[in-house]
Structure 1
Amino acid sequence: MIHDCMAAAGFKYFEKPVVAESGQPDFPYVVDDVAWARANGYGAGPVAPAVDPAGRYFAGLSREQQDAWRLALVGSGRQLSVELGPGRRLSASSTGCIASARRTLYGDLARWFKARRLTDNLGLLVQDRVRRDPRYLAAMAEWAGCVKGRGYDADDPGELREVVAARNEGLAAPVVRAAEVSATVAEAMCAQSTSLVRTLREVEPGYRAALIAERWSELVGLNGLEQDAVPRANVALGNR
């Protein structure tokens, strides 16, 4: 549907290639697997696609055509908006080919946008609440004391990476890699030897359950909107 809309505006549209997963476990708060840390350090990022026809096409457009391509695709303005929490607001345009396709599929675009973005970001919202919990803060302070004993003056894993990056600036890649592995091992060992891992297991499920209960109407509504969209999607695919 987006492709047809863009073609009507005189442009080509390419769906973004699927980026291969790195296989890296998810450590949203702290690396807590010592064996993984010793083998991987900071790990690897996602594998970039080898071919990007969209990028080549876009680069071949003039500056004016690029501006027109963006306007046709994503529209203008921020008519759609959802407040995810303090300092977390997501907005999008209700015009353009993306919005047009979604409106055709889901009917109520504003309702779908709010519910979809809330659902997509549930994990981040849970993490926000966990990181403000006094029990988590106390456990993280205990972890910080542990890593300081191992030579790293950092109050949390994010700051630990900043410390390591500053130390590694200008050094050779093998030296940087070894330093990152050492720091990640310290991060994981301190997560296990302090109360941090246990505290996360105790604290996070309650916040997740509470947030799902708070957002239940949006979650149920999203399911309904997307189920209702299936016949419309089938029609659109049948017209190709």
Structure 2
Amino acid sequence: MQRHRPVRATAAAVAAFLFLGGCGSATGAPPGPSPEAAAGRAGPAEPLAPAREPSAADTRLLERAEQVLISRCMDRRGFPYAVTEAPDATGRSFPYGVDDVEWARAHGYGGRDERAAARAREADPNQRYFRGLSASGRAAARAALMGSAPVGLSATAPTGMTITASAEGCIADAQRTLYGDLATWFRVKVVTMNLRPVREARVHEDRQYADAVGQWAACMRAAGRPYPDPDASRQAAGRFGENMAPAEADAAEAELAVVEATCATGTPLARVSQALDHTYGERLRARHQEEIALRWRLQNGALPTARRVCAPHGSQEHSTDAHDTAPKPRSSGGSHA
């Protein structure tokens, strides 16, 4: 149920980040230059063809190509690195309170799903490999993957946070191969991937949302669940596991989530939050349309390279057999089917 995730990398790289400690740093900063000024730095001002949003299949191809390129680069630097499939995006986020009764009945607040995701991360072959290295070996692998320090790339997110990362390392090399101008790619990705937390913060600060939460809280009190807002009920559900067995905690969580969703749909909360989310989302997309369009153009331009990288010829990438304790080495330079 996390709302904020400043930087996203490939699925396999994320698994390594979780163990190795992250790829960059973030610092508070005043808002950066306008989208128009930022777009001007990327190239001459001239009419551009309308950008096409990449399809879900295009995005998966780009993510897989990035992983393959990272794997080849790590192999050249002496570190095996497995190309793994991205997890299914089946989770849902309810930043304004759970408002789907059937989903709540089946998933509660997603605690069981989160535990399953944590087990999958724990079983990731790259995680297992890095855990088996010595402290010095992990430091060397981290530097190979993400660079020795988060310097060289910097961008200010719409949240006002400055995000930095290394322009060296295999992640940077892979993205440079796909997108060409690494600094521009980093900037537009930071901007576009941080629109959501800004949108959600504005909804939470809106008086209409506060009024709707008040009506939701009255409904919850009438149902014997006296929580002032959805965050409070979610936190209460998170404490069930402290003194209950997992199955019992899951059942209690689902029961509370169903009450929350029933009150959300039975009061203006669901309708108001969805309308505000749409309104603020449209405003943010209009304000950052240049960065959004530029990201799509870079992604579309990278697709031919991604197809070549993932073409089914040459040797296979590292095995991800669940019984292996580490990625299997292979001949460098091959492509993954």
Answering whether residue 141 of structure 2 is matched by residue 69 of structure 1, we say yes
Which of 195, 215, 218 is the aligned partner of 2:291?
Answer: 218
- Deviation, structure 1 residue 216: 0.6
* Partner Cα separation in structure 1 for residue 152 and residue 222 of structure 2: 51
Gap runs ≥5 in structure 2: 1-68, 312-332
Answering whether residue 191 of structure 2 is matched by residue 124 of structure 1, we say no
Answering whether residue 87 of structure 2 is matched by residue 19 of structure 1, we say yes
* Partner Cα separation in structure 1 for residue 237 and residue 123 of structure 2: 34
- Deviation, structure 1 residue 212: 0.8
CA contact (8 A) 2:216 2:267 kept: yes
- Deviation, structure 1 residue 129: 1.8
Answering whether residue 100 of structure 2 is matched by residue 33 of structure 1, we say yes
Q: Name the aligned partner's letter for residue 195 of structure 1.
A: P
* Partner Cα separation in structure 1 for residue 78 and residue 247 of structure 2: 50
CA contact (8 A) 2:156 2:190 kept: no
Which of 35, 54, 59 is the aligned partner of 2:131?
Answer: 59
Can you list the C-alpha shifts for 1:125-179, whole angstroms capped at 9, x where unaligned? 3212211211112111221232233233323222112223446631344442332
CA contact (8 A) 1:17 1:52 kept: no
Which of 255, 259, 279 is the aligned partner of 1:186?
Answer: 259
* Partner Cα separation in structure 1 for residue 249 and residue 123 of structure 2: 30
Q: Name the aligned partner's letter for residue 139 of structure 2.
A: D
The residue that corresponds to 1:6 in the other structure is 74
* Partner Cα separation in structure 1 for residue 191 and residue 197 of structure 2: 10
The residue that corresponds to 1:80 in the other structure is 153
- Deviation, structure 1 residue 25: 4.3
Distance 1:162 1:86, change over 3 A: same
- Deviation, structure 1 residue 234: 4.4
Answering whether residue 294 of structure 2 is matched by residue 227 of structure 1, we say no
* Partner Cα separation in structure 1 for residue 101 and residue 184 of structure 2: 43
Aligned sequence identity (%): 38
Return 224-233 or 66-75, whichever deviates more.
224-233
CA contact (8 A) 2:158 2:195 kept: no
* Partner Cα separation in structure 1 for residue 131 and residue 238 of structure 2: 33
Can you list the C-alpha shifts for 1:172-192, whole angstroms capped at 9, x where unaligned? 444423321221122011102
* Partner Cα separation in structure 2 for residue 36 and residue 157 of structure 1: 16
Return 126-135 or 164-173, whichever deviates more.
164-173
CA contact (8 A) 1:153 1:163 kept: no
Q: Name the aligned partner's letter for residue 58 of structure 1.
A: F
- Deviation, structure 1 residue 99: 0.5
Which of 76, 85, 98 is the aligned partner of 2:171?
Answer: 98
- Deviation, structure 1 residue 218: 0.5
SS at match of 1:80: strand
- Deviation, structure 1 residue 208: 1.2
* Partner Cα separation in structure 2 for residue 122 and residue 181 of structure 1: 30
Distance 1:233 1:176, change over 3 A: closer
CA contact (8 A) 2:159 2:194 kept: no
* Partner Cα separation in structure 1 for residue 222 and residue 276 of structure 2: 26
Matches within 5 A, 1:162-177: 162-166=235-239, 169-177=242-250
Q: Number of residues paired by the alignment?
A: 239
SS at match of 2:202: helix
* Partner Cα separation in structure 1 for residue 206 and residue 155 of structure 2: 24
Distance 1:156 1:90, change over 3 A: farther
* Partner Cα separation in structure 2 for residue 25 and residue 130 of structure 1: 18
SS at match of 1:82: strand
* Partner Cα separation in structure 1 for residue 100 and residue 131 of structure 2: 43
The residue that corresponds to 1:42 in the other structure is 109
Distance 1:176 1:143, change over 3 A: same
- Deviation, structure 1 residue 108: 1.5
CA contact (8 A) 2:108 2:258 kept: yes
Gap runs ≥5 in structure 1: none
- Deviation, structure 1 residue 196: 0.6
